[in-house]
Structure 1
Amino acid sequence: MMKPSSVKSAKEVAQVYSDLAAYPVPQSAQLLPQYPFSDAIRTRCAYQVQDLASQKNRTLVKTAVVLPTGDLVDSDPVLRDPTTLWDVYCSVGDHRAVLLKLKAEGSGSDNADKFIVHVYNESRFIKSIDLSEKAKHGAVYGPELGACQWSYNEGHLLYVAEKKQPKNASYFAADTFSEESAGKPGEAKSVGKQYDSVEHFGEQLSEYKRPVLCTLDVDSEVVTVLDDGGILDGVLPTEPCWAPDDAGVVFVGYKELPYQLGVIYCNQRPSAIYYLDFRSGECAVIGHDTRAVSSPRFSPCQTQLVWLQNEPSGPHKQCRRLIWCDWATKDIRFIIDFVNQAGSAGFPGIYADSLPSRCWSSNCRTVVLSSINRSKDCLLAIDVKTKIGELLSLPPDASSAKVLDFHRDWLVVEASAPNVPPFIAAGFIDASKPLTSNIKWTCLTDCFKLNDIAWRVKQHTAKLAHPEFGNQLFESILVWPVDSSKKKDSKKGDEEKPAAITELPLPLIAFPHGGPNTSFTATYMRYVCGLARCGYAVLMINYRGSLGFGKSTVDSLLGGIGERDVSDCIQAVEETLAESASSADNSALPRLDGEKLAAFGGSHGGFLGGHLIGQRPGMFKAAVLRNPVINLATMVGGSDIPDWVYEQSGLPFSHDRLLDAETLALLWSKSPLSHASKVNTPTLVAVGLKDLRVPPQQGRELYRALRARNVPTRLLVCPDDCHPMSSVPVQSSVFVDIVLWFNRHVMGVTEEA
């Protein structure tokens, strides 16, 4: 058949991806110490671009200076040393530490990575310290669980590293049982244990097993492991920070369990805030020891401590409390509590993975953080005295923003919109004025707008009522291509003309997010913009269970997966199609083709995609599922979070729980695979072989079931990727495969080039 003009060839699809990959993605921004006798604000910005020629990510760094006049002066970007693990400045002086991770060549225990610290002041390089040579610990942890922080007196660095372990030795090595070897100092051996399994922190963190807190005396170059006496037995320390006056260390301690559960994307792991007092040598819990916590942050005046806290079970991401502690008295209070019901416009509560590493105003009264508010990432300022939170204004053209740094009342954020690639902006918060007053923002990196893409947030009232919470609200975000009367992309400040709605009825892709306890927010997503530029409208669905709508909305999905979330997805699609058909002039929505629907999703979004094509056979012309959950019964034994299966299915979890016939029957009834015999939708499945969250066997089960039933299917196996499937080769290549699959089975185009 003839190819419609809106359908792109493989070459054209690859070019779409290449164009979008050229937009940099911010990685971090740090406010630097001020120059003496200057009011200029310096910021070091790091952002990543995809180098498709070499199939690698490249990180660029530049320094941006905001002058008192508001003008911007910035340096040319330079490639960041890829071995950089940490790059930190002291809070008040001019010292800087850069911690490098030098990858070892070869394999085996004798080829461990090396860790080097370079120390600078404002004007020169001071020294280099080889941490590995000290032989006090193993690998240094990165930002996922670790920290690297200067002491208040600028004399020490605090960090997290792997506990030093005895060297594994074979029973048959020549010197294993020799008396000479046994007598060598520092040559502790672990004989015959080289194949023992060791518990770790799960998906993407499997190299982190036994963390210890360490300090480096920069002058003497002495490394001290703070737990050599065993005072932290049964506690796995992470996220440390210096206590006031460098008198000790405050940290997040995870409980050591019969087997460890995955931590990434999970903020409900049992943990507590601990204080290790250097003077007494004692370690005590601050607050409750039966909660889940993160992000201890001291105020600049060193008198107050805040952190985030929630329940240690249930949804894997939850509504959180902001906890405040008077450090002198250890008096603890809730500053922001859980919010159960938010309605259509009320404050829904805090939904944040962490607090910014620097989050306090200079007057030690306001804490600034990023939080999901329905379908947007918002900037939230909280007065710890009045316990009132206020939303801050966003940079121009942005619909969402996340805090990167907040210091000396200057706020640096990453901002974007569905048709605005992310950029970095800085603004000053004047504590003497209402927090909601407009902040004067300065863009530190280029701000572009994609004029050929439009978007809109849609609100829905769930038709399938919850027995306790009733008919709750949920939202979706529709993104679609439009005809642009000028060039596709424009920089901020360029003249913009209204874009006309495209004339062709558009195929629609239903795209529920993973999790399920996360949210799509009105931010830039490369894949979504790419699908739009390839002629598809994309409906990103925040079904019940999503964050940002109140605690009860998150809790409402427990026990209802495969039913309430599926119902919400179908309702969102049907209501969007109905509104499109009833819109007389298509001024609010594009014309959509209800006969050309597709399903797309990853993880729990893949779970929903599997349900959609099974529960509604014939409704969707094609499906693409990335690392999908397909069979809950087999997921229990293979995932790093077996508790997810039980909790989301409405069952209690304990480490000693075994599957029985009744539980297996329930899990099977909630699984997409139970509907496989009804599926007639051509389905592309992609899995990462290093995925510890959703084992690749899950996707293979569906692939085999569909192949056996002669349903067109294809399995993409990515040998070096884990759950996000975010490597450059996989991201770029799989995008083209996805579009070509939709072109063939939704649009009926068989040519691929």
Structure 2
Amino acid sequence: MAYRPERAKEALPGDFGPIGDLYQELSQFPSVVYASVGVGFAAFGGAECLPLYTEWCQPDLGRHQKLQFSRQYILHHDGTAVVPVTPVGVPVEIRDQLLIRMSPTGMRKAVLTHHLEMGQKQEVLEQVWSNSGRVRSINLTALDKHGRVYTDGQFGCFAWSSSETQILYVAERRHPKRQPLFSQDSPPQEGEKPVEARKDEQFLYYDNWGEALSDKSFPVLCVLNIETSKVSVLEGIPEHISPGQALWSPDDKGIVFVGWWHEPFRLGLNACSNRRSALFLLDPSGSSCELLSSDSQAISSPRLSPDRTHLVYLEGPVFGPHRQCLKLQMLSWQTKLTSTVVDIVRTATTGFFGIYSGALPLHCWAGDNHRVLLSTPQRSRKELLVVDTKLGSVKCITAGTPEGSWTLLGIQQDLLVMSCSSPNCPPSLVVGVLPPAGSELELQWTSVEKASVLPDTEWKTLTVHPTVTVEGNHDAGQAFEALLLSPQESKRGENIFPLVVSPHGGPHAVFDACWCPKMACLCQLGFAVLMVNYRGSLGFGQASIESLISHVGVQDVEDTQLAVELALQMEPLDPDRIALLGGSHGGFVCCHLIGRYPEMYKACAVRSPVINMATLLGTSDIPDWRYAVLGLPYCFERIPTKEDLAAMLLCSPIIHAAKVRTPLLICVGAKDRRVSPYQAMEYYRVLRAREIPVKLLWYPEENHAISGVEAGAAVFLNCAQWMIHHLSKESADAESQQAAKTSEV
């Protein structure tokens, strides 16, 4: 039996009681973050045995940190399928590891680790041979050739050369060490001139790449020679370019990399696939740097085919919506000619909705050298697609499966390693052998680690058809979706449940039908949860994305309201107990709703919300966002006009503040580079002055996502307790009386 909201009354303020216990239980399901298939060996009976190495992650709430551990398996491969799977040993905790990569032959492994030595972080690259232990350990910090190694998904790489003698990676450029402003020598003697301050540039501002990348300013490409233990920082990259996502060219004589323009200043890159970038080929000697792609698009994820004859990558437009439908491009290495394999999909006509992946898997090519596999949203599901680069055809392998979200970890030797989950089922690890071209739908999955469906929850997809479209918005008439997660008792009609409504952030993002412990926890507490993919979400075609432009604060808000009204009609939900929960742009939509429908929503909890677009001027790492959502062109030197500022204010939630009656909880990270936390402070003060129940939680060390283990748990628990308290009958009665009193005043 699920928990009920009334149970929250057992917990005193500051004591989360059963809510905390339930969150701790559901957050302990681990997710796999890395997988690698090793070199096969013959087994008894003719089957081939393949070692599978995996890494998993889960929050360690007791130690307030993420716990990483490894698991290993033996896969028995009969040529067409994986028959049994044998676990090897028990999971082993991973400590201090930053990066890991197997060599092309699978015989060597490079591991980047870190440790503290005399208070300073030391980065050490360790190379390990199979069955031989560690044979080389190189302290990169001690070599002092560069700053910290990049381990992020935006710039970072860790690539072996095909000869397995060199490793390519990205690091911060070496900066001069800070010197004291005044000399520490003895004071000048009588008659001598006083010591002058050094005229260095130690306080000069260095631009960085914004939210979640604030320690990334000047990336450089580095090559470590395993045999000599020497590091070379590569020269010859244009000064206006920041390199990343690098790999070796087919002959090991060059470096292929993505370069992002950073002049006149850097714009935020996190969750923004619309930044000007291109594909380059660098001669390691620094004598040349050749442009391989268009230099007026946004490029990412270059991936070489196994026979090293072709390279695929993702390409999209610059500026406009921050995340859009992308092209899959292919470069012939012999001719250096580029062709479009999969074009941008405006409106789906064949059941394929386009590619929206932020990155292709490192191993995405099939062994036949002409099929590419990837995971991407298709409406409210995340599906596995196989692309035939010769035919340009796209086929969905996972359509119709009970699992709503499929993530490809990699394909090696035609063995697919996948993670799959659903809103009511934690991640499972499965493997399958890719059938020959044309027979992909016959693929059979074998479980490696299987999770069980929560016994008392269910989920479904609601399709919402807009009845009224925004004037002049010709692409806005298409349907959108919402995911509903609810307690299973609703099947029997025994209860009606309070509803938590959650529009996603972005705005160009999507809720795919994956496992989310926080949403599952709300459901176990007795709530139904409605996750709304309003028009403008990823996975529904480029036309849907563009339909939101110039209509932010209107279309997204009305779509969310329409989804709520449909859910109330179709499901056993309590119309008098509805709460809102959203982060970033989702918080923007929530704050609009409590101002425009003040009687409908009885509680609201938001994280890092946009409140006043006009006052974001100069405070966000993505200033172009304000212009993009208004449908205005952006250029670096643009200064907003009074008309621009008026338009920004008019589509912001703060203009409805005088109508708000809903109790509001706001959670912000003090180090948020995307949406200034003082946006929340502005709203908090306005509502407090109007005697509206409002509470502001301020997390000093957190950024926009507030994703630290302890802080993330605290945000959820506070939000859950806030909603439970204000949806209770006693609280509702008291707040109704207060609202009436406020109205009289």
Q: TM-score, normalised by structure 2?
A: 0.91
Runs of 4+ in structure 1 deviating by more than 6 angstroms, as ranges, are 175-178
Match of 2:245 in 1: 239
Match of 1:587 in 2: none
Match of 1:583 in 2: none
Counterpart CA distance in 1 for 2:117 and 2:528 is 46
Counterpart CA distance in 2 for 1:175 and 1:206 is 36
The 5 Å alignment of 1:506-517 reads: 506-517=497-508
Contact 1:370 1:379 in 2 (8 A): yes
Match of 2:406 in 1: 401
- CA deviations 1:590-613 (Å, max 9, x no partner) are x11111111110000000000000
Match of 1:458 in 2: 462
Q: Which amino acid aligns with 1:71?
A: P
Contact 1:170 1:176 in 2 (8 A): no
Q: How many residue pairs end up in the alignment?
A: 705
Counterpart CA distance in 2 for 1:637 and 1:251 is 31
Structure 1 residue 205 corresponds to structure 2 residue 213 = yes
Q: How far is 1:515 from its partner? A: 0.2
Pick the aligned partner of 1:667 from 625, 648, 654. 648
Q: How far is 1:734 from its partner? A: 2.3
Contact 2:268 2:622 in 1 (8 A): yes
Secondary structure of the structure 2 residue equivalent to 1:608: helix
Pick the aligned partner of 1:64 from 67, 73, 76. 73
Match of 1:285 in 2: 291
Contact 2:181 2:198 in 1 (8 A): no
Secondary structure of the structure 2 residue equivalent to 1:562: coil
Q: How far is 1:138 from its partner? A: 1.0
Mark the CA change 1:103 to 1:457 in structure 2 (over 3 Å): closer, same or farther.
farther
Q: How far is 1:340 from its partner? A: 0.7
- CA deviations 1:636-661 (Å, max 9, x no partner) are 32111111111112222111111232
Match of 1:159 in 2: 169
Q: Which amino acid aligns with 2:372?
A: V
Structure 1 residue 375 corresponds to structure 2 residue 380 = yes
Counterpart CA distance in 2 for 1:290 and 1:137 is 30
Q: How far is 1:76 from its partner? A: 3.7
Secondary structure of the structure 1 residue equivalent to 2:206: coil
Counterpart CA distance in 2 for 1:610 and 1:103 is 44
Pick the aligned partner of 2:573 from 578, 592, 595. 592
The 5 Å alignment of 1:438-517 reads: 439-466=443-470, 467=472, 468-483=474-489, 500-501=491-492, 503-517=494-508
Pick the aligned partner of 2:325 from 291, 313, 319. 319
Q: How far is 1:279 from its partner? A: 7.0
The 5 Å alignment of 1:343-354 reads: 346-354=351-359
Counterpart CA distance in 1 for 2:611 and 2:288 is 48
Q: Which moved more, 1:721-730 or 1:262-271?
A: 721-730
Contact 1:453 1:479 in 2 (8 A): yes
Match of 1:183 in 2: none
Q: How far is 1:433 from its partner? A: 4.9
Mark the CA change 1:504 to 1:89 in structure 2 (over 3 Å): closer, same or farther.
same
Contact 2:429 2:448 in 1 (8 A): yes
Q: How far is 1:247 from its partner? A: 1.3
Contact 1:176 1:191 in 2 (8 A): no
Counterpart CA distance in 1 for 2:445 and 2:258 is 34
- CA deviations 1:452-483 (Å, max 9, x no partner) are 11110011122331422241211000111124
- CA deviations 1:490-537 (Å, max 9, x no partner) are xxxxxxxxx944622111111100000010011111111011111111
Contact 1:170 1:194 in 2 (8 A): no
Pick the aligned partner of 1:427 from 423, 427, 432. 432
Q: Which moved more, 1:113-122 or 1:389-398?
A: 389-398
Counterpart CA distance in 2 for 1:527 and 1:657 is 41
Structure 1 residue 127 corresponds to structure 2 residue 136 = yes
Contact 2:505 2:583 in 1 (8 A): yes
- CA deviations 1:666-708 (Å, max 9, x no partner) are 1110110111011010001111112111111111111111101
Q: Which amino acid aligns with 1:577?
A: L
Contact 1:151 1:242 in 2 (8 A): yes
Q: Which amino acid aligns with 1:537?
A: A
Structure 1 residue 48 corresponds to structure 2 residue 39 = no
Q: Which amino acid aligns with 1:391?
A: C
Contact 1:167 1:190 in 2 (8 A): no
Structure 1 residue 330 corresponds to structure 2 residue 336 = yes
Pick the aligned partner of 1:541 from 532, 537, 543. 532
Q: Which amino acid aligns with 1:169?
A: Q
Contact 2:282 2:288 in 1 (8 A): yes
Q: How far is 1:192 from its partner? A: 3.6
Q: How far is 1:34 from its partner? A: 2.6
Counterpart CA distance in 1 for 2:96 and 2:326 is 35
Mark the CA change 1:190 to 1:60 in structure 2 (over 3 Å): closer, same or farther.
farther
Structure 1 residue 745 corresponds to structure 2 residue 726 = yes
The 5 Å alignment of 1:25-44 reads: 25-35=31-41, 39-44=48-53
Match of 1:356 in 2: 361
Secondary structure of the structure 2 residue equivalent to 1:40: strand
Secondary structure of the structure 2 residue equivalent to 1:213: strand
Q: Percent of aligned positions with the same letter in both sequences?
A: 34
Mark the CA change 1:105 to 1:682 in structure 2 (over 3 Å): closer, same or farther.
farther
Q: Which moved more, 1:466-475 or 1:624-633?
A: 466-475
Q: Which amino acid aligns with 1:81?
A: I
Q: How far is 1:25 from its partner? A: 1.9
- CA deviations 1:289-345 (Å, max 9, x no partner) are 0100100011010100100000011111000000001101011100000111126x6
Match of 2:736 in 1: none
Contact 2:476 2:547 in 1 (8 A): no
Residue segments in structure 2 that go unaligned for 5+ positions in a row: 11-15, 189-196, 733-745
Pick the aligned partner of 2:203 from 181, 195, 210. 195
Q: Which amino acid aligns with 1:424?
A: L
Q: TM-score, normalised by structure 1?
A: 0.90
Mark the CA change 1:539 to 1:331 in structure 2 (over 3 Å): closer, same or farther.
same
- CA deviations 1:420-449 (Å, max 9, x no partner) are 101221111022551222x22122223221
Pick the aligned partner of 1:138 from 143, 147, 153. 147
Q: How far is 1:259 from its partner? A: 1.7
Contact 1:168 1:192 in 2 (8 A): no
Match of 1:588 in 2: none
Secondary structure of the structure 1 residue equivalent to 2:216: coil
Q: How far is 1:4 from its partner? A: 7.1
Q: Which moved more, 1:598-607 or 1:391-400?
A: 391-400
Pick the aligned partner of 2:678 from 694, 697, 704. 697
Contact 1:170 1:192 in 2 (8 A): no
Q: How far is 1:665 from its partner? A: 0.9
After superposition, the CA RMSD in angstroms is: 2.2
Counterpart CA distance in 1 for 2:650 and 2:605 is 22
Counterpart CA distance in 2 for 1:450 and 1:351 is 30
Contact 2:5 2:526 in 1 (8 A): no
Counterpart CA distance in 1 for 2:389 and 2:709 is 43
Counterpart CA distance in 2 for 1:417 and 1:239 is 31
Q: Which amino acid aligns with 2:108?
A: H
Counterpart CA distance in 1 for 2:325 and 2:5 is 46
Match of 2:738 in 1: none
Contact 1:394 1:400 in 2 (8 A): no
Secondary structure of the structure 2 residue equivalent to 1:325: strand
Q: How far is 1:57 from its partner? A: 1.6
Match of 2:314 in 1: 308
Pick the aligned partner of 2:561 from 570, 578, 583. 570
- CA deviations 1:225-270 (Å, max 9, x no partner) are 111xx44211100100000010101000001222211111010010
Match of 1:628 in 2: 609
Pick the aligned partner of 2:420 from 412, 415, 420. 415
Counterpart CA distance in 1 for 2:240 and 2:162 is 29
Q: Which amino acid aligns with 1:198?
A: Y
